[in-house]
Amino acid sequence: MARLLVVLKKELRQQLQDRRTLTMMLVPALVGPLICLVLLLAYGSNSELDRKELTVSSSKAGIDRSELLKDISGKFDGQNFTNSDQRAWNVKWSESPWDDLVRGESDLALVQGADESWQVVPSPISLDSALLTAESIARLNTPDLTGGALRDMDLLSSPTPTSQNFLVIDFFAATAANSAIASYLLPILLISLFTMAGSPIAIECIAAEKEHGTFDSLRVLGAPGLSVMTGKLLSVALATGVVGSFASILLIAVGNIRPRGTWNLGMDYVVESGISGRSILTISALTLSALILCSAILLFVSGIAQTVKEAQYWVSIASLIPISLGGASVLSSSDRITRVLEMVPFSNVAIGISNTVAGTSDGWSIAACLAVNGLVTVSLIGISVRMLFGEGDLRFRIPSVS
């Protein structure tokens, strides 16, 4: 433990004295929010698919879902109301209609609130939302001749869509939109802020010391490899965590600026999402596991490189792994793919954070995520110790970068 603390203090002292490293640490923290904004703006709807998606949800107790979906589907079957879009409608039930809208899995949502009133909510990212909303209104106002669930619930009691029981609302005006947007934006944001800043530190910790000959002194002095690598891991994780925390606090402050607008960078929805204290602790634990795992990966790659130039190249590529896997899980619209990604490091963190914000997470999935990431981290540290300190026959080489 004493030698671990010595290594940790040495690494932190070197980081504070190197202005270039400190500057490079702040660059990823500034790039992270821009990446999230690009993903949020560029992620289109599923308008190119062969179907128009309508999700139905109700909080009314004892509702017959199959009968309700049958009646609504009957109104959306048949001849299209517009000549420009001949795709058929697909009506399905959803427990999270707001998440489906913000992730592009649905074009429209038909939601029944606690007061039994119905709302038609168009997707905020669909280019055809106005046309699809007009078509849905026309279809829903078609007289119900079947005597089904729609008539019984008085959904179409008024010919106008702004009546007491049937409203068309703006997605962003709804309170539930805050949690939906936060569950999409927050996973990518946290993973980028708390992982990308560790690249320059990892390079200085191993590759630079190997090139300058100072790393060999640790082996000559007989310092245990596990203590050295653990100390370096903690130094990378601690420095990256400080940068990520600073950037997070800054973005939260930006999200509190009023009146709300584009200058909030989307953080106003995160601030207004009403995340509970327990959820914050869960999100912090998931983010910490991603931070430590990413630090172990960067140190491993830095240890493989033979020169600083090689390390800069390979570490820069490795630093994109967390946000790539995390982004893939957030953007995935397939339940089958999502279940597979739940066991993949970084993807499991993004899914866990998203579910925690949405209020659909469970303790077992969170525990499994932390266990998988912890196992991979320990394995990487063990391999790095054997590779760098000769404790075993394991050796890795990567192609040189000219």
* Mean pLDDT in residue range 157-169: 50
Of the ranges 7-11, 23-27, 74-78, 94-98, the best mean pLDDT one? 94-98
Sheet holding 88-93, edge to edge: 88-93, 51-58, 108-112, 118-122, 166-168
Given a cut of 60, is residue 181 above it in pLDDT?
A: yes
pLDDT recorded at residue 286: 95
What CATH number matches the domain at 51-175, 2.60.40, 3.30.390, 3.90.1200, 3.40.1710?
Answer: 3.40.1710
Q: What confidence category does residue 136 fall into, taking pLDDT thresholds of 50, 70 and 90?
A: confident
Residue 191 contacts residue 349 (beta carbons within 8 Å): yes
- What's the CA gap between 329 and 54, in Å, rounded? 23
- What's the CA gap between 301 and 221, in Å, rounded? 24
Question: What are 200-216's pLDDT values in tens digits?
Answer: 888 888 888 888 877 77
Task: Tell me the three state secondary structure of residue 390.
Answer: coil
- What's the CA gap between 216 and 206, in Å, rounded? 10
Candidate from 257-266, 280-289, 382-391 with smallest mean pLDDT:
257-266
Q: What is the pTM of this model?
A: 0.76
Peptide bond into 259 cis (omega under 30): yes
Question: What are 213-265's pLDDT values in tens digits?
Answer: 777 776 655 667 888 888 889 888 988 888 888 888 888 887 888 777 666 66
Question: What are 83-92's pLDDT values in tens digits?
Answer: 555 678 888 8
- What's the CA gap between 139 and 110, in Å, rounded? 13
pLDDT recorded at residue 81: 56
For residues 395 and 78, which has the higher predicted lDDT (pLDDT)? 78
Given a cut of 70, is residue 57 above it in pLDDT?
A: yes
Report which DSSP code applies to 107: S
Q: Which residues are paired to 58 by β-bridges?
A: 112
Task: Please state the domain extents for the chain.
Answer: 2-42+177-389, 51-175
**What rounded mean pLDDT belongs to the chain?**
76
For residues 4 and 353, which has the higher predicted lDDT (pLDDT)? 353
* Mean pLDDT in residue range 117-126: 80
Residue 356 contacts residue 276 (beta carbons within 8 Å): no
For residues 369 and 305, which has the higher predicted lDDT (pLDDT)? 369
Candidate from 33-42, 43-52, 174-183, 255-264 with smallest mean pLDDT:
43-52
* Mean pLDDT in residue range 161-172: 63
Percent with pLDDT over 70 in the chain: 71
For residues 111 and 390, which has the higher predicted lDDT (pLDDT)? 111
